[in-house]
Amino acid sequence: MSFPFLFYGAHPAEWYGGGRLDYEVRFVTTPVAADRVAIAAAVRARLAALAEIRLDAYDPWRWAEAWTALVVRTRTSETDWTIFFEEVAELFRTIHGACAIELVVCRSVDTAPGEDDPWTVWTLATRPDIGARPRWDAKARTSQDRFAARGPRLPIDATFDPSFEAARNAAE
């Protein structure tokens, strides 16, 4: 599966959180209000055609400059994980169509040192440094994900955007 952006953890072999996966997205440029409205509309329209994934209203997206963090959940307890991850990929391609994405990181990947498959080993060895990231909610779950940099944090805190949430949930 190829993507027009870097995607770490596109189809992880192991993850934690069951039917809830956390993702961080960095856009090529910081989305302005009109971009966020376009993203919300594209997401709302795309979700209508997807069977396995949902984005719930009680999981608002956090925003910090060119970054956003979101939660993708399963619709049923009997999820077909192959279809789930294909639909997640479709969702991010849709978002990319509304506002260009630079990278997506699945923060729910669960890998332990010494247990990596060859793809993970190669990815960790060859990935570019994704640089500093925002400080997400201090109460958010800490990640086991080694795809994302553990290094410096941007001196900004992520916040919720009520206008974006209203636009995203308008049809729900």
Each residue's pLDDT tens digit, 100-125: 999 888 888 766 555 566 656 666 66
69 is a domain residue: yes
162: pLDDT confidence band, cut at 50, 70 and 90?
Answer: confident
Q: Which tens digits make up the pLDDT trace of 15-34?
A: 777 788 889 899 999 999 99
164 is a domain residue: yes
Residue that wins the pLDDT comparison between 133 and 21: 21
112 is a domain residue: yes
Using the CB atoms, write b or e for 108-133: b if 16+ within 10 Å: bbbbeeeeeeeebeebeeeeeebeeb
Query: Percentage of residues in the chain with pLDDT exceeding 70?
Result: 71
The total number of structural domains that make up the chain: 1
Is the per-residue pLDDT at 93 higher than 60?
yes
76 is a domain residue: yes
Range of the domain at 133: 6-168
Give the whole-angstrom CA distance, residue 64 versus residue 157: 7
158 is a domain residue: yes
The reported pTM is: 0.79
Which value, to the nearest 10 degrees, does the dihedral of the CA atoms of residues 44, 45, 47, 51 take? 150
Backbone CA torsion sign across 161, 137, 15, 24: positive
1 is a domain residue: no
139 is a domain residue: yes
Residue 45's H or E segment, with its range, is helix 33-47
The neighbouring-strand residues paired with 64 are 67
103 is a domain residue: yes
